[in-house]
Amino acid sequence: MPVRPLTQTEIQEATLVFEGGLRYAVVRISEAAAWPNWPPVVAAFLRGQPAPVTNNAITLGNRCYFPIILHTSAADINAGNRVDMAWLIHELAHTWQSQHDGPRYLIEAISAQLRYGPDVYKYGGEAGLIQAAQAGKRFSDFNREQQGDIARDYYVRRKQGLKTAAWQPYVDVLRSP
């Protein structure tokens, strides 16, 4: 299970979302860790559902654990292969949560996963964010997994040259040191 700091490319890409709101130097990436795939398998078993077939990452504080080796090089990103970088952005949102809110983020994330199951990530996309903004909903009103997906989706849309206005007020929160 190799452990490493963020690469310069990963920092450069993450800065598109977090700017100065994340302490990049203390983040560590642990790749090829099999254990992050087990909690969703156990949760599915307890719900009487089939085991998920996708990989799962887990972030504990400043360390992000991935079950694979990430493909986040400049060559990958420039070739349009941004899936792993987008996944890393989601996990870095959890690191941001830890750096700004302490360990309670983890309890809240686990609680939301247990409560909502596979729907834990659904925030409504662009239409949901527009509606949320009109209702005065703040970033902190979204659950921890939704926050991670808001960050991830902002990154993906920005890299694709799509509109990000609906995401902007929520991503701005992630940019605060």
Instruction: Please check whether residue 92 is in contact with residue 64, taking contact to mean a CB–CB distance below 8 angstroms.
Output: yes
3-state class of 151 per DSSP?
A: helix
Cα separation of 106 and 176, whole Å? 20
Instruction: Return the domain boundaries, the chain.
Output: 3-175
Tokens encoding 131: 């509606």
Count, residues in the chain? 177
Query: Does residue 163 surpass a pLDDT of 90?
Result: yes
Tokens encoding 175: 């940019």
For residues 52 and 66, which has the higher predicted lDDT (pLDDT)? 66
Q: What is the pLDDT of residue 152?
A: 99
Query: Does residue 150 surpass a pLDDT of 90?
Result: yes
Burial label for 37, CB within 10 Å (0-12, 13-18, 19+), is middle
Cα separation of 86 and 152, whole Å? 5
Strands in 28-30's sheet, in edge-to-edge order, are 3-5, 28-30, 63-65, 58-60
Q: What is the pLDDT of residue 100?
A: 97
Query: Does residue 89 surpass a pLDDT of 90?
Result: yes
Q: Concatenated DSSP letters for 87-145? A: HHHHHHHHHHHHHHHTTHHHHHHHHHHHHHGGGGG---HHHHHHHHHHTT--GGGS-HH
Name the band, by pLDDT with cuts 50, 70 and 90, for residue 46.
confident
Cα separation of 66 and 86, whole Å? 13
Give the pairing of strands 63-65 and 58-60: antiparallel
Q: What is the pLDDT of residue 38?
A: 79
Question: pLDDT tens across 14-30, in order?
Answer: 999 999 999 999 999 99
Instruction: Please check whether residue 61 is in contact with residue 100, taking contact to mean a CB–CB distance below 8 angstroms.
Output: no
Name the band, by pLDDT with cuts 50, 70 and 90, for residue 136.
very high
Average pLDDT over residues 20-44: 89
Q: What is the pLDDT of residue 40?
A: 74
Cα separation of 141 and 46, whole Å? 28
Query: Does residue 128 surpass a pLDDT of 90?
Result: yes
Q: What is the pLDDT of residue 86?
A: 99
Name the band, by pLDDT with cuts 50, 70 and 90, for residue 53.
confident
Question: pLDDT tens across 97-117, in order?
Answer: 999 999 999 999 999 988 898
